[in-house]
């Protein structure tokens, strides 16, 4: 997300310098960087949930093994 913010800052500077083509390019790159950061965050959250589910499943299987005749 830092890269996206840095590119947006650079885009704003480019606008102030009246370099509109550079500003547009930087804004587009910032948007892609922000989308990537969001996808990575969702992926990390999903991974944590999967690990938690696997652990819960492991514990449940241990309980079943203990209680099975």
pLDDT digits (tens, 9 = 90+) for 2-59: 888 999 999 999 999 999 999 999 999 999 999 999 999 999 999 999 999 999 999 9
d(CA 19, CA 10): 11
What backbone phi and psi angles, to 5 degrees, belong to 18?
65, 25
pLDDT computed for residue 44 by the predictor: 93
Domain count, the chain: 1
Instruction: Please report, in angstroms and rounded to a whole number, the separation of the first and last CA atoms in the chain.
Output: 54
Give the pLDDT confidence score for residue 64 in this predicted structure: 83
Question: Which residue segment(s) compose the domain that 21 sits in?
Answer: 2-67
- Tokens, residue 12: 């704003």
Q: What is the value of pTM for the model shown?
A: 0.69
With beta carbons less than 8 A apart as the criterion, state whether 7 and 33 touch.
yes
């Amino acid at each position: 997300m830092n890269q996206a913010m840095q590119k947006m800052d650079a885009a704003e500077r480019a606008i102030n310098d009246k370099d509109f083509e550079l500003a547009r390019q930087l804004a587009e790159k910032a948007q892609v960087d922000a989308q990537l950061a969001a996808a990575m965050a969702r992926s990390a959250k999903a991974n944590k949930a999967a690990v938690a589910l696997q652990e819960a499943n492991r514990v449940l299987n241990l309980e079943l093994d203990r209680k099975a005749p």
